[in-house]
Each structure stands twice: as structure tokens, then as C-alpha cells.
Amino acid sequence: MIVQFEARHWERVRVGGEHYLCLKQGEGLVVIQERCRHRGGPLGLGTWDEKTQCIVCPWHEMVNSPRELGRRKVPSVRVGNVMTILVPDPA
């Protein structure tokens, strides 16, 4: 399924029961499936550390490093202010 939304840091989009989060990574933006690797906490409700580009999960405060976050990336393309992602169809 193709989904489009505003291309900006910390923009969240819901597709079916799944949330996706747009994040800064280096000079660009990436989109991740926003479940924490611990127990699936909503990383989009967590705390962003600009300096380290890590997210602290709101549930048990596990730090999700850029490397960990990168494992949750979904295919995305940015054109201007529009981010397009390809995600599985909702069940």
C-alpha cells in the first residue's frame, strides 16, 4: 500500500493498526515502523535526542539508537514536502 504524508521530522502516520514515524537521519529523513524493539512501545510518543538522534521509549525508557531505528525503516521517497512510503496492506 502506498501512503503519502507531510515530509517533516516527527510526523506520524497511521496505516491500519500500525504507526509510522518520519525522522531525521543524518541530513535526510527516513520513515520507520514506530514500535520499540523491547515490547512494541510507541516511539512517536517518546523523547527525541537531537544530538545523538536516539529515541527514548515512553514505556520503559530504553534508548533506541539510530542503528536500531534504522532496522525499522520502510521504503520511502521524499519529493519536496511530500513523503511517500510503501507499507504492507492493513489486515
- Please report, as ranges, the residues that interact with ligand FES according to CB under 6 A: 36, 38-41, 57, 59-60, 62
The C-alpha angle 58, 4, 62, rounded to 5 degrees, equals 15
Q: Which of 66, 84 has the CB closer to ligand FES?
A: 66
Q: Which of 19, 78 has the CB closer to ligand FES?
A: 19
Q: Which of 8, 60 has the CB closer to ligand FES?
A: 60
Q: In the Cβ-directed half-sphere of 51, how many Cα atoms lie within 13 Å?
A: 0
Q: Minimal distance in Å, beta carbon 65 to ligand FES?
A: 13
Closest by CA to 33, choosing from 63, 64, 61, is 64
